[in-house]
Amino acid sequence: MDRFVRADYIQHNPLAPDGAEALKNLAVGMHQQFPDAKYDIERVLSGNRAQRAAWWVRRWSG
């Protein structure tokens, strides 16, 4: 994740804190809680100073 996420990462979810470490902790926690979850990246946009990714997490099949 260090290769793709800057240390000053801004999280746009008001329930989650900013920063790359916080994002890593969120990802680890999600994986521990839902080890069989499937992650689908819908789109990735990149500009001069900002990148955005839209993705979905399916915690169960169906």
> 51 falls in which pLDDT band (50, 70, 90)?
confident
Q: Read off the tokens for 38.
A: 């499937």
Q: Give residue 35's identity as a one-letter amino acid code.
A: P
- pLDDT at position 44: 84
Q: How far is CA 58 from the centre of its chain?
A: 14
Tokens at residue 51, please? 């990148």
User: Which of the residue ranges 2-6, 25-29, 42-46 has the most confident prediction, judged by mean pLDDT?
Assistant: 25-29
For residues 40 and 51, the model is more confident at: 40
What confidence score (pLDDT) does residue 61 get? 63
Tell the burial category of 20 from Cβ atoms under 10 Å away from its Cβ (0-12, 13-18, 19+). middle
